[in-house]
Amino acid sequence: MCMQDGMPMNTCSGRPVRRRTFLARVAGSLTCASGLSCAKTWNGPGTKYGELAASPWKKCGVVMSSGSDGMIQNFTSAAEPLEAKRWRLWFSVSGQGVPFNVGIAEGVPGEGMERHLAVLSEGEPADAPLAIGNLPRDWRPVQGVHVPLAKGRHRLYFWAHGPKVVRYLAAESDDGRRYRVIDPSRPCLYHPADRAVDGRAASEAGLKKKSGQVSTRPAGEPAALARQISNDATNVYRLSDGTFEMYSVGLMEVGKEHPGYVAHDNCAGWIRVIDRYASQDGLDWPERRRILVPDAKDPADQQFYYLSVTHTPYGRIGTLGHYRVEAQTMDIEACFSKDGLSWQRAMRSPWIPRGNPGEPDSYMVYAPHSLVERDGLWHLFYTATTEAHNHKHSHGSPMRSIMHATCESPWA
């Protein structure tokens, strides 16, 4: 199926479908299902509904580079202000021959950041700056999402990769250092390649080409439900009323004759779209709606790789993974929503420009968990790469970095 760094791929064929007709049908069905309509005016900054500045960001350079512990990324991960201009940056490492892991880095950007990778254990979490316990042997975490809970508690979400396992787990902590996985056999989400996904659930989720898949889950482990099957790139947020929302990637199946089919993508035969989930406890996610699908105004090869969200008094600022599949490039597109369900895409273009060939952010950029407002500025720490998404081309040696940008206001 459709994950980077060696995850399985799939293709399919089908009857010819005109892109405009196909996407119009999908968008129309979603509108009818949700019953939503878009507001024309609002009371926030700017003169139009959800008006965001076209190019407000000033780049501040690289704050963390990849090292011997693997290729670094802060994709989906939080940036948290500490005292005296210091920050805590959550990150992941991966790469050829490098086990996945999550970590934290603390310090002043530009003055060096002290890194700590998570200490992983099958039993109770170790006494370390960051530790994850009750994690089965050979399961590795990536794309961590830290969410503060009530009464000083903490939750850490991450994709766990293991033998025949790709699933989204939740772990909790009393001290923000030592996390314990709640239940490895009952995740929030499953990737289609996970052992708990069978053909019936895959087919119900719209993955018809996987209808013959046989589950290899061990006895006593629950089967995946169709509503739990996602692709990758997930963000979770705790709302002011104590409930949770989650944004993850769904898949739409297309044939080789479809204009959106790109054979050299690592997910040929699928279009990535964005789904929103809602939950009372952040563990079981019964409410799922498709909210962002490429439409007739988008190029034929447009897909949406992720959606991260910044909650403001005026509504949600979205940073959308603007993936051009033909060129294998990734940009950050800005969008806006009042409710998390109906999204305005006024720009449909990069919110922060990628660098020129040879610069760290020349090929792809990925957004973090959210933007952060601090000391009169808005801060964006983002993952930058010099390599194409399918790893077949790069500007110089393939490299990932975490870069920093600021602006005075994201609003127009």
89-124 CB burial, b ≥16 within 10 A, e <16: bbbbbbbeeebbbbbbbebebeeebebebbbbbeee
Spatial separation of the C-alpha atoms in residues 109 and 89, rounded to whole Å: 10
107 and 114 in contact (C-beta within 8 Å)?
yes
Q: How many CA atoms lie within 13 A of 363 on its CB side?
A: 22
Spatial separation of the C-alpha atoms in residues 230 and 166, rounded to whole Å: 10
Judge: domain 24-191+230-407, CATH 3.30.70.360: no
399 and 358 in contact (C-beta within 8 Å)?
no
Tokens coding 101: 């892991």
Spatial separation of the C-alpha atoms in residues 25 and 273, rounded to whole Å: 14
Closest CA to 209 of 17, 11, 16, 15: 11
Q: pLDDT tens, position by position, for the chain (412 residues)? A: 444 433 333 333 333 444 444 444 444 333 333 233 333 344 556 545 569 999 999 999 999 999 888 999 999 999 999 999 999 999 999 988 899 999 999 999 989 899 999 999 999 999 999 999 999 999 999 999 999 999 999 999 999 999 999 999 999 999 999 999 999 999 999 999 999 999 999 999 999 999 999 999 999 999 999 999 999 899 999 999 999 999 999 999 999 999 999 999 999 999 999 999 999 999 999 999 999 999 999 999 999 999 999 999 999 999 999 999 999 999 999 999 999 999 999 999 999 999 999 899 999 999 999 999 999 999 999 999 999 999 999 999 999 999 999 999 999 9
| Helices vs. strands in the chain: H and E counts, helices first | 2, 25
Residues in CB range of 29: below 8 A, 6 or more apart: none
Model-level pTM? Answer: 0.89
Per-residue model confidence as pLDDT tens digits over 253-311: 999 999 999 999 999 999 999 999 999 999 999 999 999 999 999 999 999 999 999 99
Instruction: Name the β-bridge partners of 117.
Output: 103
Spatial separation of the C-alpha atoms in residues 355 and 107, rounded to whole Å: 25
Chain centre distance of CA 7: 16
Spatial separation of the C-alpha atoms in residues 260 and 364, rounded to whole Å: 20
Spatial separation of the C-alpha atoms in residues 204 and 226, rounded to whole Å: 6
Spatial separation of the C-alpha atoms in residues 163 and 352, rounded to whole Å: 38
318 and 268 in contact (C-beta within 8 Å)?
no
Closest CA to 370 of 380, 385, 357: 380
3-class DSSP assignment, residue 340: coil
Chain centre distance of CA 45: 27
For the chain, domain boundaries: 24-191+230-407
